Structures are given as C-alpha cells and as structure tokens.
Amino acid sequence: MALALVAAGCRSTPEIASAPSNRVACTVGPASIEIGALPWLAFACDDGRSVALVATGQNAAGPFTFVVRPGEHGVRVQGDGPGDRAATAAAFAELMALDDDALMRLFARAMLEADPDGG
C-alpha cells in the first residue's frame, strides 16, 4: 500500500492507494489529538474505517504521516516521512495498541470535528 499526500485547502491530507485504481482519500476532519505525547491531526478516510494522522507543526515527529486501518489481527499502522524517529516510535507504539473499537472512536471523532465549510 502506497501513501501519497494531496492538498486540500491549506493543509495536506493523506491518500491511501492499495492499487493504482483503488484509492482511499482521507480528507474528513481534522480532529486535534495527542498520540505519543505529541499533537497530531486525525483525518477520517472515505473507506469508513481508516484514519490518517498528520504531525502538526509543533510535533517533533513532523513531517510524518500515519495511516491506521483495521486488520485481521488488530490494527495495521503504516508511516511515512523523515520526522524524528524517537517521536514517531512513541506514536507508533500507542497506535499499535489500539483495538478496532478505539480506531472506530478515532474515526468518529474526526468525522464529528470536520469543518462543515470544508476548510
């Protein structure tokens, strides 16, 4: 699965591609959250279950993006970016500890906090 960034207004939002013709856009949100003791922006993806996390400007992990998806044996976490590895490691560990219910709550939070004006 590849991870690409697409521009939406003044912020970047992740787009997931499992095959060239099967893209999932993660543009709904963001919800401001703390993961690994650092600030992230959470975006809900249009597959109805995945969440993309983008490091904020105040986050030592940035620039970095995670995509968290439900998997057969818990959540799947993929990351991309040259950010600080200690900061991304803490966030990765916390994300890997999520269960499907926690992922769905994060997805719902991004949906609820979405800007009704689209940015």
State which residues form the domain around 89: 28-112
| 59 pLDDT higher than 50 | yes
CA-to-CA separations, 9 to 27, 35, 73, 110, 112, in angstroms, rounded: 10, 24, 36, 17, 19
Q: Flag whether 15 is in a domain.
A: no
CA–CA separation, 119 and 106 (whole Å): 20
pLDDT for the residue 24:
78
How many domains does the chain divide into?
Answer: 1
What does pTM read for this prediction? 0.79
Note whether residue 4 is domain-resident: no
Per-residue pLDDT band for 40 (boundaries 50, 70, 90) equals very high
Residue 14 falls inside a structural domain: no
Is residue 118 in some structural domain? no
In a domain, 119, yes or no: no
Task: Specify if 47 maps to a domain.
Answer: yes
**Confidence at residue 48, expressed as pLDDT on a 0 to 100 scale:** 95
Residue-level pLDDT at 58: 94
pLDDT at 56 exceeding the cut of 70: yes
**pLDDT of res. 115:** 67
Helices marked H in the chain — which ranges? Answer: 85-96, 100-112
Q: Is residue 21 part of a domain?
A: no
Please give the DSSP secondary-structure letter assigned to residue 47.
T
What percentage of the chain reaches a pLDDT higher than 90? 68
